[in-house]
């Protein structure tokens, strides 16, 4: 029932995204230039909440727009009603609904749905990862220098050693393709599907990565923080790869040369 409710939630919210992308809607700004929230973010969130509360009214919820709905429950739903809001606000169909579910502090289910590409990624702990119900797995590329990478940049620049721009420069100066799609959840899912070999980002929130990171792990990939330690979605940095380039990517992100 938990899986069915999760899938119904992302699919229902995805329908809201698809129905409203070509309509006029209000857009406002959060902290940082171009850190947008739209009327549709809130509509999507309302639909998700409705689906969850119908089946699990006592579950804890953490959502990007509404924050925490605290309940005394071992289950927590971590929700991004639109991941890639800037894309969505500009009519760019690289955006999605992302929902992860924790049980007793451990991610057990994740679903990411892009209704515009009709791609539904799903993973359950110990059961593998799927794209539209077909098993997926990470790539086999073993050389970072020959990899296809993806990253994102924070809305406020992080003035830190080996920050986003410095790491990005290292890659592009070596001719390594590094894409920026504007949706961390999709970035992670595309690593899981073998489209990218690795993803790194310096500053994310839990709702950006909660679903995607279990999908990468269940597709055979590896996910850690920027130092290579156990990944916790409540801290900002992430490295997710096919596993074969992981150590080398950690070294470069932390100041090493290619």
Q: Which residues form the catalytic set?
A: 64, 80, 82-83, 85, 208
Copy the structure tokens of residue 57.
């009214």
Asked if residues 77 and 60 have their Cβ atoms less than 8 Å apart, the reply is: yes
DSSP secondary structure string for all residues of 209-249: HHHHHHHHHHTT-EEE-TTSSBP-TTSS-EEEE-SSSHHHH
Largest Cα–Cα distance of the chain, in whole Å?
Answer: 52
Between CA 215 and CA 219 the distance in angstroms is 6
What DSSP state is assigned to residue 31?
Answer: S
Nearest to 64 by CA among 75, 87, 88, 48: 48
Copy the structure tokens of residue 95.
């955006």
């Amino acid at each position: 029932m938990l899986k069915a409710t999760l899938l119904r939630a992302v699919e229902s919210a995805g329908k809201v995204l698809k129905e409203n992308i070509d309509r006029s809607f209000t857009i406002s700004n959060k902290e940082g230039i171009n850190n947008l929230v739209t009327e549709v973010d809130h509509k999507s969130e309302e639909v998700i909440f409705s689906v969850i509360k119908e089946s699990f009214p006592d579950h804890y919820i953490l959502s990007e727009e509404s924050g925490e709905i605290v309940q005394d429950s071992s289950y927590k739903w971590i929700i991004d009603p639109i991941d890639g809001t800037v894309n969505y606000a500009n009519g760019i169909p690289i955006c999605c609904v992302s929902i992860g579910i924790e049980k007793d502090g451990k991610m057990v289910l994740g679903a990411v749905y892009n209704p515009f590409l009709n791609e539904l990624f799903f993973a359950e702990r110990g059961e593998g990862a799927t794209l539209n119900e077909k098993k997926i797995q990470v790539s086999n590329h073993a050389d970072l220098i020959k990899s296809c990478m993806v990253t994102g940049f924070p809305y406020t620049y992080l003035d830190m050693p080996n920050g986003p721009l410095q790491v990005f420069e290292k890659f592009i100066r070596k001719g390594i393709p590094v894409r920026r799609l504007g949706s961390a959840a999709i970035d992670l899912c595309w690593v899981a599907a073998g489209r990218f070999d690795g993803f790194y980002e310096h500053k994310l929130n839990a709702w950006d990565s909660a679903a995607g990171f279990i999908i990468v792990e269940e597709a055979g990939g590896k996910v850690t923080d920027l130092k290579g330690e156990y990944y916790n979605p409540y801290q900002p940095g992430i490295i997710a790869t096919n596993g074969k380039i992981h150590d080398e990517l950690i070294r470069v992100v932390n100041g090493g040369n290619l």
